[in-house]
């Protein structure tokens, strides 16, 4: 057993659970995969570039190159994970892109559409696939759609991203209502400011593109970005520790 795992928790609650993470080739998704692997969970991981997870060799893992905007590919990936690893307990729609960044008037409509396709439609596809899977295998299951502070607060320069994340939160509220009777719990989780490529992209923006850039540069200078493991541990408690289940749909990972 890995030395970071508390024996009672890993054996009674976590070990053998099956978790899917989209967008697991780097950033928050790759970091969560690492933490989950250390806890003995089985992993289904996808991104456009096939993830190469940094996890113990004993962990059961299925990886695939999948674009979340492709509904058919998402269905095929989910089927392969369930066939190889068993019923999926937790599905995390994490894949996302920030850009295009800048005033809406300056943005290329094709890039705006691409953002919405990944950030909103990708979450629709992942949610549909997981809900249908849970209806086949039995009651329960936890769906986590990774949201953002931009879902509830407008940031100039992030029009497509903010619109998509707001859509993700409303989508998740609807899923909670529709699936309440099936025992599936759906959450939209805002992770806070995490140390990933996406934050590097935020800091590299010009003030003309993103007027609040200085605040994010300061958070980085002051060492206030959180590691992905912080989010991973929060989601494990939310999904698998009954004392941490939450009635609210939209949650923010606490500091």
Does the protein bind ligand NAP through residue 95 (CB under 6 A)?
yes
The piece of 5-13, 23-31, 76-84, 245-253 that touches ligand NAP (CB under 6 A) is 23-31
Distance (Å, whole) CA 18 – CA 2: 18
Positions 64 through 93 that interact with ligand NAP (CB under 6 A): 67-69
Q: In terms of C-beta density within 10 A (0-12 exposed, 13-18 middle, 19 or more buried), how is residue 111 classed?
A: middle
Q: What is the DSSP string of 82-124?
A: HHHH-S--EEEE--------S-GGGS-HHHHHHHHIIIIIHHH
Nearest approach in angstroms of CB 198 to ligand NAP is 3
> 63 or 94: whose CB is closer to ligand NAP?
94
Distance (Å, whole) CA 241 – CA 58: 24
Nearest approach in angstroms of CB 176 to ligand NAP is 19
Distance (Å, whole) CA 149 – CA 146: 10
Among 77, 196, 234, 239, indicate the residue that binds ligand NAP (CB under 6 A).
196
Nearest approach in angstroms of CB 234 to ligand NAP is 13
Positions 126 through 145 that interact with ligand NAP (CB under 6 A): none
Among 146, 163, 232, 236, indicate the residue that binds ligand NAP (CB under 6 A).
146
Does the protein bind ligand NAP through residue 157 (CB under 6 A)?
no
Output phi, psi for 41, to 5 deg: -80, 155
Does the protein bind ligand NAP through residue 205 (CB under 6 A)?
no
Q: State how far the alpha carbon of 107 is from the alpha carbons of 97, 141, 158, 208, in Å.
A: 15, 39, 10, 13
The piece of 27-35, 75-83, 124-132, 179-187 that touches ligand NAP (CB under 6 A) is 27-35
For 223, residues 6+ apart whose C-beta sits below 8 A from its C-beta are: none
Cβ atoms 41, 20 nearer than 8 A: no
Does the protein bind ligand NAP through residue 25 (CB under 6 A)?
yes
Nearest approach in angstroms of CB 95 to ligand NAP is 3
Nearest approach in angstroms of CB 228 to ligand NAP is 7
Does the protein bind ligand NAP through residue 27 (CB under 6 A)?
yes
Among 5, 193, 219, 251, indicate the residue that binds ligand NAP (CB under 6 A).
193
What count of residues does the chain have? 255
Instruction: Tokens for 89, please give them.
Output: 């307990």
Where along the sequence are the contacts to ligand NAP (CB under 6 A)? 22-29, 47-49, 67-69, 94-97, 118, 122, 146, 148, 191, 193-194, 196-199
């Amino acid at each position: 057993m890995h030395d970071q795992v508390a024996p009672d928790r890993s054996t009674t609650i976590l070990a053998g659970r099956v978790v899917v993470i989209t967008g697991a080739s780097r950033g928050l998704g790759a970091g969560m995969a690492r933490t989950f692997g250390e806890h003995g969970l089985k992993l289904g991981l996808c991104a456009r570039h096939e993830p190469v997870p940094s996890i113990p060799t004993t962990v059961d893992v299925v990886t695939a190159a999948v674009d979340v905007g492709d509904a058919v590919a998402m269905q095929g990936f989910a089927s392969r994970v369930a066939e190889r690893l068993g019923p999926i307990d937790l599905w995390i729609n994490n894949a996302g892109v920030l850009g295009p960044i800048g005033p809406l008037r300056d943005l290329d409509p094709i890039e705006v559409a691409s953002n919405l396709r990944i950030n909103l439609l990708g979450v629709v596809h992942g949610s549909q696939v997981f809900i249908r899977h849970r209806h086949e295998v039995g009651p329960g299951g936890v769906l986590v759609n990774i949201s953002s502070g931009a879902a509830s607060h407008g940031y100039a320069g992030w029009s497509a991203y903010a619109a998509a994340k707001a859509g993700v939160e409303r989508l998740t509220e609807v899923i909670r209502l529709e699936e309440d009777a099936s025992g599936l719990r759906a959450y939209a989780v805002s992770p806070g400011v995490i140390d990933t490529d996406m934050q590097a992209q935020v800091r590299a923006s010009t003030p003309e593109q993103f007027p609040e850039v200085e605040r994010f540069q300061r958070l980085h200078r002051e060492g206030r970005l959180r590691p992905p493991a912080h989010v991973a541990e929060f989601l494990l408690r939310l999904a698998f520790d009954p004392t941490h289940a939450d009635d609210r749909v939209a949650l923010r990972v606490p500091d």
